[in-house]
Each structure stands twice: as C-alpha cells, then as structure tokens.
Amino acid sequence: MAEQPEGVGKEVLYEIVDDHVALVTLNRPDKRNAVNGIVARAMQWIRRDVEVRDAIRVAIICSSSPQTFCAGADLAEIAAGRGHTIAPDGEGFAAFTDVAHAKPWIAAVSGNVLAGGCELALACDMIVASEDSRFGLPEVKRGLFAGAGGVFRLPRMIPRNIAYELVATGDPMPAERAFHFGLVNRLVPSGEAISSARGLAREIAVNAPVSVRESLAVARLSHDIDEEALRARSREASAITGATQDAKEGTLAFLEKRAPAWTGR
C-alpha cells in the first residue's frame, strides 16, 4: 500500500467496527462533505486498503453530518482549476464511482443525497437511508451533466420511466418513494441509518467471505452479459468457492451444529 494520505483520519474517518466491518465517514460538515482532492485521495487509499485487508469483509460509507450525505464536487476546487483532483487516476468521482470492488459496500445516508453524493451512494451495493433522505441528480438545473454514473445506474435500479423523470427534471426523490421503488434496501427513522447499516453489514460478515465476493461478482454482471456468459461465470465462481477451506468448514460446522470459523481461504 502507498503511504497513508493526509486526509485519512481527518476529512475521511476510517475505523474497523463490529468485527470485519469498515466504517468510512465523510467528515467535512462545514462544506457539506463536498469532495476535494484531499477527500478523493483519502477515499482512494481507504478503498484500496479495504480490498486487500483480509480482516475486512464489508464496508460502510456514511457522513458525520445528519443533514447531508455528500454535496458532490467541491466547486471551489473546480474554480481553482483543480477539478481533476476529485477523480484521480481515472477512478471516477471520489476515486470510487468508476472502480470495481470485490467486497460489498453499503451507503448509510441521511439528509440530502444529491449530485455526486447520490452517485457515490448508487456506486455502492446497498443503501440504508433515514426517512429524511432525499435522492437526486440536480445537474440539469445548472446546465451540467451527472457524469459519475448516476444517469445510467438509476435506470438499472428503479423503473426506467421513474429514473428518466429524475434525470430530466433534476428534482429530488424522498426516501419513502426511493424505498418503494427498491432504490433503498432499508428505510429507518432519522438518526438510525448508520446503526442499521452496521446491522446489515454484520448479517453479511457472518457469511463465508469468498462465497460473498464470488456471489456478488456474478450478481453485479446480471445486467451486463447474457445468460450463457452468466452461467459460465457462475461455474467459475462455484469452482473457486468449492476449492476453499471455508467450503469444507461450512459443511463441517453444519454437521457439528456450531457456528463456522471462516478464514477467507
């Protein structure tokens, strides 16, 4: 791993909670968690660390501010001619939206989840939202384009005509409606998004890590390749998981009526 950048532990908090769960907290409340170069580099380092650290099985991204998950790009950074720093090394907004990740990511959101912040949440595998959340891509209201994946991820996640409305009007969708259409996995009272996301993460983390990663890898491809290719990738995933120590451990634990002790190998 590269040397830890300055933003880790400051603009972006990073800790291990609940055994095997990484909690990643955007922490620029005075700027509504707008992403600048420091935040992007911190996110890049953290994302890579999550991928390689065996002890981590699930990651949660959240906000230190209950009013805003993330306001998107820091316009001051763009005005200063440093817009490229918010999407380093071709990895997309906050070094996150254009990068494949093997481990599951959960967005725990509250308040405004707009523009790049919405796209950051959409790039995760699951979303837990408080009832006061609002999701939207308001870029069209400013003559801009939501270029971090939101305009193509939304139609894959909710009915197309509803997604088209959000994209074309730029108006936000309240959390209850987002939950109704399946954009949100769990809708919780205000102030409970992070604790609920941690509960969901624990439910995932008790499972065999390789099985979770391989199962998600195939599931993520379901909109991108045909069934024949999906069957081939499924056979590959089955062979990979079947050859692990955890596959033997899972069977043995079931027979012995005990909780399995996963090694991730």
∠ CA(86), CA(87), CA(88), 5° rounding?
A: 105
Please give the Cα distance from 162 to 146 (Å, whole number).
17
Is 187 within 8 Å of 129 (Cβ atoms)?
yes
Please, what sign has the CA dihedral across residues 86, 92, 93, 99? negative
> Quick check: is 91 catalytic?
no
Is 106 within 8 Å of 127 (Cβ atoms)?
yes
Active-site residue among 11, 77, 139, 214?
A: 139
Active-site residue among 11, 77, 119, 214?
A: 119
Neighbours of 186 (CB within 10 A): 18
In this structure, what token pair is assigned to residue 131?
A: 């009832």
> Quick check: is 15 catalytic?
no
Instruction: Tell me which residues are annotated as active site.
Output: 119, 139
